[in-house]
Structure 1
């Protein structure tokens, strides 16, 4: 699951994951409220499959990434889903708060296209090939 309000970043993440070693068809939601609706299978996401991994931007409309992390931690069914924060912020308070709220990893988005794609591939390789997901 990709939680990203920047359409270009969401597209780039999806395109980078497509030729990957595993079949990966991520769901994309554009804000924190939509992410929570999806995770709780609320309208219009009734019957939605629980994601194996969440890539979460911090600076989201309606409900920011920290709010999404809080919501995930409140639900026993959701809190085992690994969450990788993928944010443009490298501010220490954002990093620390994300980990305090249960993030499994915090990655700063690089500015350049090649670096961004490389970072996404590293996330994919670790979380979908190396780590064992619940």
Structure 2
């Protein structure tokens, strides 16, 4: 009998990252992967815009693929904005319990209120330093991806301060 000392791997988690800025996508993708503890796999699906994200979701659902464990949206995107995409997703029963976070450069209270009214679990302002962004992504991972419940029965989690 062959004996191994390896630990069982946790189920992979998936983050859908929707932003029209490819540099932000690249950076946040890398920071999410860096923030994952050893033994945990993270799939980051990076989509450059709201319309493309809706198309990806439709294709993934049609193919029977699992939906993301977390969705992170930029607000200001050409075409279908992050707020519009958020409203569309929250109108679909499948996405009522999926955590959806808005990550934006704007710190305007009105935009935050609109996003929360549309169904965002949290509205986060993109920090101005790499260290602060890395800390923010780590907190997002700890708060929203630490203990995923079964995909179709998740309850909303608490927002980060």
Q: TM-score, normalised by structure 1?
A: 0.89
Distance 1:94 1:131, change over 3 A: farther
For structure 2, which runs of at least 5 residues remain unmatched after alignment? 1-15, 155-161
CA RMSD, 1 decimal: 1.8
Q: TM-score, normalised by structure 2?
A: 0.75
Cα separation, 1, equivalents of 2:104 and 2:86? 14
Aligned pair 1:109/2:104, yes or no?
no
Deviation at 1:131, TM superposition (A): 6.9
For structure 1, which runs of at least 5 residues remain unmatched after alignment? none
Q: Is the 8 A contact 1:39 1:78 kept in 2?
A: no
SS at match of 1:27: strand
Deviation beyond 4 Å, 4+ runs, structure 1? 130-133
Q: Which has the larger radius of gyration?
A: 2
Cα separation, 2, equivalents of 1:30 and 1:61? 10
Aligned pair 1:126/2:156, yes or no?
no
SS at match of 1:25: strand
Cα separation, 2, equivalents of 1:61 and 1:51? 23
Aligned residues: 132
Cα separation, 1, equivalents of 2:81 and 2:29? 21
